Amino acid sequence: MSDKYAVFGNPIKHSKSPAIHAAFAAQCGQQIQYRAVRVDEGDFTRAAREFFSTGGAGLNVTVPFKEEAFRFADRLSERARRAGAVNTLSRAADGQVEGDNTDGIGLVRDMVANLGWVIQGQRVLIIGAGGAVRGVLEPLLREQPREVFIVNRTPQRAEQLAQEFADCGALAGGGYDALGERQFDLVINASSAGLAGEMPDLPSALLTERSCCYDMIYGAEPTPFMRWAAHHAAWAVSDGLGMLVEQAAQSFYIWRGVRPATQAVIGEIREAMLAA
């Protein structure tokens, strides 16, 4: 009998995770069941406990339950501990539930392995200071960028986040007025503005002729941030679909002990989105 996996979220209707993990399983010769489950807010702990008590082997967790998954786990990886959030739960051999966060690994692998971008030695700007940023900071800083600056509409949130992760590398934070005439080699949009079709208020001189711009959200059409980057002649621009597939690949590896190839799966999901 195949092992049971699921993704819990709300909303969850348009989740790509079932298609991604089905592709991984077929590629790797693994027998699994994987489904998307909409969980009511306030009901995550009960639903997760029931899932594991009835034989569930692993869960992916998306918004708005990553912090609840952090509290639910019996044991945490160091990545998850630093992030304060969990997107991957797995049942260990001793019956305990282990929590991990694969978002940062997904971001870094997409940039470096798939896109061929360089993080080491680069000046990095991160737009936003919410949970999405907290989840990727530690793996990103392990790539040894020259500096990372977090900018946020509420400067105090960016400054606090920078202080929390200061032991991981050269990190600072502030408001948009702190950007001044500074330029960056890599700009990562992790703000929620793009979900509402809005664009962060960025200086036009932010980019160099070799700057790469990455939006952590994705869609069939370019996001407002991607359009801004292209308009300002960024050297390379990408959305976050590759990050989605790469973080799922890391979850699959944690659960099954095999690492799927991701390039073809990214292409398949992209084609399906464009055809929808």
- Which residues are annotated binding-site positions for NADP(+)? 78, 128-132, 152-157, 216, 240
- Alpha carbons 31 and 253: distance in angstroms, whole number: 14
Omega of the bond prior to 64 within 30 degrees of 0, cis? yes
* Known catalytic membership, residue 66: yes
Residue whose token pair is 């049971």: 4
Q: Are the CB atoms for 232 and 206 separated by under 8 Å?
A: yes
Q: Are the CB atoms for 6 and 34 separated by under 8 Å?
A: yes
Classify residue 232 as exposed, middle or buried by CB count within 10 Å of its CB (0-12, 13-18, 19+): middle
Residue whose token pair is 């994987």: 34
Residue whose token pair is 């978002």: 103
Q: Name the binding residues.
A: 15-17, 62, 78, 87, 103, 128-132, 152-157, 216, 218, 240, 247
Amino acid at 235: W
Q: Name the binding residues for shikimate.
A: 15-17, 62, 87, 103, 218, 247
- Alpha carbons 87 and 67: distance in angstroms, whole number: 9
Catalytic residue from among 6, 23, 66, 226: 66
Of 49, 64, 61, nearest to 96 (Cα)?
Answer: 49
Q: What is the DSSP letter of 171?
A: E
What residues contact residue 35 under an 8 Å CB cut-off, 6+ apart? 5, 6, 7, 18
- Alpha carbons 130 and 161: distance in angstroms, whole number: 9
Helices (runs of H) and strands (runs of E) counted in the chain: 10, 12
Amino acid at 208: T
- Alpha carbons 69 and 255: distance in angstroms, whole number: 17
* Residue positions annotated with a catalytic role: 66
